[in-house]
């Protein structure tokens, strides 16, 4: 089952991203928020693709937010977990302002 996460940063960046997959596509789809270094946005990418790309600019300069370099510190309070991927209630690096002030929150959609 997939879920929506909301992305917010103190600089004003906002986004809504779908995570996971559904019963029909879970073997080939694992959507997860990623940092795009080219267009400087938080984007949704399929981590099960052999070469994931930014859906906006088509760059391969994307980094999943599971990467420890994008986390201010490791938090124990995981609130989104899908397969091996997780998000915590901590702070992450914002692609827009480059500060560790980006946060993820539960969205209002669950999908299957």
Q: What is the pTM of this model?
A: 0.85
Residue 48 DSSP class? T
Q: pLDDT of the chain along its 112 residues, tens only?
A: 677 899 999 999 999 998 887 677 778 888 899 999 999 999 999 999 999 999 999 999 999 998 989 999 766 665 555 555 578 888 999 999 999 999 998 887 666 5
Strand order in the sheet with 41-46: 41-46, 31-36, 62-64
| Phi, psi of 19, rounded to the nearest 5 degrees | -120, 155
Contacts of 26 (CB under 8 A, 6+ apart): 20
pLDDT of 18 reads 86
């Amino acid at each position: 089952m997939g879920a929506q996460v909301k992305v917010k940063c103190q600089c004003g960046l906002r986004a809504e991203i779908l995570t996971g997959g559904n019963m029909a596509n879970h073997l080939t789809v694992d959507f997860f928020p990623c940092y795009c270094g080219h267009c400087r946005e938080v984007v949704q990418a399929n981590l099960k693709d052999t070469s994931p790309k930014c859906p906006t600019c088509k760059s391969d300069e994307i980094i999943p937010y599971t990467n420890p370099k994008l986390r201010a510190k490791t938090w124990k309070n995981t609130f989104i977990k899908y397969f091996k991927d997780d998000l915590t209630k901590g702070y992450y690096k914002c692609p827009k302002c480059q500060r560790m002030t980006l946060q993820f929150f539960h969205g209002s959609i669950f999908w299957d």
